[in-house]
Amino acid sequence: MVGKPSYVDVNVFVYWLGKHPEFGGVAYDWVRRIEGSVRGEFVTSSLTVYEVLVIVAGLTGSSLRDMGFVEAVVGAVTRVKGLVVEPLKSEDFARAVGLMGECGLDFEDAVHLAVALRVDAKEIVSNDRDFDAAPIKRIM
């Protein structure tokens, strides 16, 4: 049985896939840790998959019309063994609006936090310091 999961933020996957010069190694280590975990120990949202796709497209000059590119990026994230991709629910958007004010987050981060809170995550794996104002701990 898995206890409370850890929520994995977008930047972990962007740094990993983009081989970021400063954070790529740390992100790679997190992905390996997720792959070695029990399914459900690490969770992200479907918003993460979309955001990673858009960010990586922007970084590489790729097009979201390029099916091969889209399949490669989406597959890279969704095939990380041990990771659960949680669907977005309408309640996440409503809760995110409140979290924007409570935690001083932009809407995207607030949606991620809303999902993390809905799945009762114990922490958020991210180097985004905006999450330091969240009611759960940020690690990375």
What digits encode the pLDDT tens for the residues 36-57?
A: 999 889 999 999 999 999 999 9
Model pTM score: 0.92
What pLDDT sits at residue 3?
83
The 3 state secondary structure assigned to the chain is: CCCCCEEECHHHHHHHHCCCCCCHHHHHHHHHHHHCCCCCCEEEEHHHHHHHHHHHHHHHCCCCCCHHHHHHHHHHHHCCCCEEEECCCHHHHHHHHHHHHHHCCCHHHHHHHHHHHHCCCCEEECCCHHHHHCCCEEEC
CATH architecture of 6-130: 3-Layer(aba) Sandwich (3.40)
Which pLDDT band, with edges at 50, 70 and 90, does 31 fall under? very high
Query: How large a percentage of the chain has pLDDT more than 90?
Result: 93
pLDDT over 70 for what percent of the chain?
99
